[in-house]
Amino acid sequence: MMQKFILDVDTGVDDAQGIMVALSAPNVKILGITCCHGNTPLENVLKNTLRVLKVCNKLDIPVYRGCSVPLLARKQHASDYHGKDGLGDVPDPEAPGLELLQKRKAPQAIIQMVKENPGEVILVATAPLTNLAVAVQLDPSLPKKLKSVYIMGGNIESRGNTTVCGEFNFVADPEAAYIVLDRYTCPTYIASWEFTCRNSLPWSFCDQWLSQNTEKAAFMKRITALSMKKARSEEYQKEVTEGKGFNSCDTYAVAAAIDASFITESEEVAVTVELDGTQTRGMMVLDYMELLNKTHKAVIMKKVDLEKMKQMFMNSLK
């Protein structure tokens, strides 16, 4: 049975990997891709998304321009890891132009696509949650019409990668993350920062994955060279993946949305986002004591079937 996806992205290297995994899944139809500020400024996100679709021969998938700034927070990017352009600073002179973008803006497009497919759409969000927050403010009934939402973001043990206690996507727009976790009462699945670090892919597999003799593999090898170099560094391995390998953060949310059996261990708990703390602004809060009195609980991923993820990765570059 075909699953209908909307991908909400801030296309850096791991978003590109997630998009390509979704494109190669035989049971997935991508209704549209909505773009948001994040890893790189919005204009780069738009160009990068079209570049990924071009190499996959999927430029027929609609791409929408979303929010270029957070709701209230100071704008920030992740160019130290993804490159200044978000895709490893290896520009393509023949990249598709932005005239291919749809006229409708991303939040309105999300509302429209969900309205046309009530109860069928899986929304996969791998960017700061600004587009989703604006969409639910424009249409408060939106979450009731969604099948589910999968989010890469937040953290479960106050282990930060951007601030002392904050994961990038949530820190980049804490108010948006707060709104989404509060108002999206459809089934919600979260791939947190620490979870992705602990379920990283072995380097030996990554070498095998990138050595495939295809145009897609050559593209992936080019755009990941910069981030792979940083990820292989002794400091990064020690701090992030505990020496285990490569962490393609966003792809975990995509893989879980594609195949429910990918998640082998999880827990359900009410969550929110800290907005006021000096050290903890943007941190995801897990309410184990049930003091928030929230009836809606999110599924927090704990462990996954990495063999299934490896197969999805291999298929994505064939």
| Residues 136 and 129 sit within 8 Å (Cβ to Cβ) | no
pLDDT exceeding 90 applies to what percent of the chain? Answer: 89
Mean pLDDT of 166-179: 97
Mean pLDDT of 4-18: 98
Looking at residue 148, its pLDDT comes to 98
> Which letter, b or e, does each residue of 160-194 get, where b requires 16 or more Cβ atoms within 10 Å of its Cβ?
bbbbebbbbbbbbbbbbbbbbbbebebbbbbbbbb
Looking at residue 237, its pLDDT comes to 64
Mean pLDDT of 92-111: 97
What is the C-alpha R_g of the chain?
18
Q: Which residue has the higher pLDDT, 266 or 159?
A: 266
pLDDT at 236 over 70: no
Catalytic residues: 10
> Which letter, b or e, does each residue of 99-116 get, where b requires 16 or more Cβ atoms within 10 Å of its Cβ?
eebeebbbbbbbbbbbee
Count Cβ atoms within 10 A of the Cβ of residue 227 and give its class: 0-12 exposed, 13-18 middle, 19 or more buried: buried
- What confidence tier does 242 reach under pLDDT thresholds 50, 70, 90? low
Q: What is the pLDDT of residues 37-53, one digit of tens each?
A: 999 999 999 999 999 99
Instruction: Report how far residue 267's alpha carbon sits from residue 153's, in angstroms, rounded to the nearest whole number.
Output: 16
Looking at residue 243, its pLDDT comes to 56
Other CB atoms within 10 Å distance of the CB of residue 211 = 10
Enumerate the H helices of 117-247 as residue ranges.
130-138, 142-145, 168-172, 174-183, 193-198, 203-210, 215-232, 234-236
- Asked which of 78-82, 176-180, 198-202, 247-251 is least confident by mean pLDDT, the reply is 78-82
Mean pLDDT of 240-250: 78
Looking at residue 233, its pLDDT comes to 77
Looking at residue 229, its pLDDT comes to 86
Pairing of strands 298-304, 263-269: antiparallel
Domain limits, the chain = 3-316
Looking at residue 239, its pLDDT comes to 66
pLDDT at 17 over 60: yes
Residue type, 295: T
Enumerate the H helices of 184-233 as residue ranges.
193-198, 203-210, 215-232
CATH topology of domain 3-316: Inosine-uridine Nucleoside N-ribohydrolase; Chain A (3.90.245)
Give, rounded to a whole angstrom, the gap between the first and last alpha carbons of the chain.
Answer: 23
Looking at residue 288, its pLDDT comes to 97
Q: What is the pLDDT of residues 262-311, one digit of tens each?
A: 999 999 999 999 999 999 999 999 999 999 999 999 999 999 999 999 99
pLDDT at 224 over 90: yes
Q: What is the pLDDT of residues 38-97, one digit of tens each?
A: 999 999 999 999 999 999 999 999 999 999 999 999 888 887 789 999 999 999 999 999
Which residue, chain included where needed, has tokens 């400091």?
A: 235
